[in-house]
């Protein structure tokens, strides 16, 4: 999966994109976050599953975390047509990540 670090400015640019994408809110001290990011990196872009991923460090962007109700980490927010559609919390399994990607592909 394509992964990119986001700050508040680049997040807003990305949010305006109509194409589905996944925001992942993490922190440097969060071990489940590392596990999730590793799983995302290992996923191969299967048909319709090449979902862009934007990573937000909540320690550097607390306002973004607050705006999207991030209370636990990692938090994943699926954006479709510029709006948050689905939120998941925790180090999702590969199967759960694939389900989320399938949801994005369906739009």
Residue 33 is a catalytic residue: yes
Structure confidence at residue 93 as a pLDDT band (50, 70, 90):
very high
Domains annotated on the chain, with CATH: 3-106 (3.40.30.10)
Which secondary-structure segment (H or E) carries 11? helix 8-15
CB atoms under 10 Å from CB of 48, counted, come to 12
CA torsion angle 105 43 21 76 (round to 10): 110
Active-site pick, 26, 30, 53, 100: 30
* pLDDT tens digits along 30-89: 999 999 999 998 886 664 467 899 999 999 999 999 999 999 999 999 999 999 999 999
| Per-residue pLDDT, 1 | 64
Residue 30 is a catalytic residue: yes
Active-site pick, 22, 24, 26, 33: 33
Distance in angstroms (rounded) separating the CA atoms of residues 90 and 107: 23
């Amino acid at each position: 999966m394509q992964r990119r670090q986001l700050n508040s400015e680049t997040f807003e640019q990305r949010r305006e994109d109509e194409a589905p994408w996944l925001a992942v809110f993490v922190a440097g001290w969060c071990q489940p976050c590392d596990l999730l990011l590793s799983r995302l990196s290992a996923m191969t872009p299967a048909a319709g599953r090449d979902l862009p991923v934007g990573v937000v460090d909540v320690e550097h962007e607390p306002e973004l975390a607050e705006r999207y109700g991030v209370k636990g980490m990692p938090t994943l927010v699926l954006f479709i047509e510029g709006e948050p559609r689905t939120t998941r919390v925790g180090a999702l399994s590969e199967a759960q990540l694939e389900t989320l990607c399938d949801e994005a592909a369906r739009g």
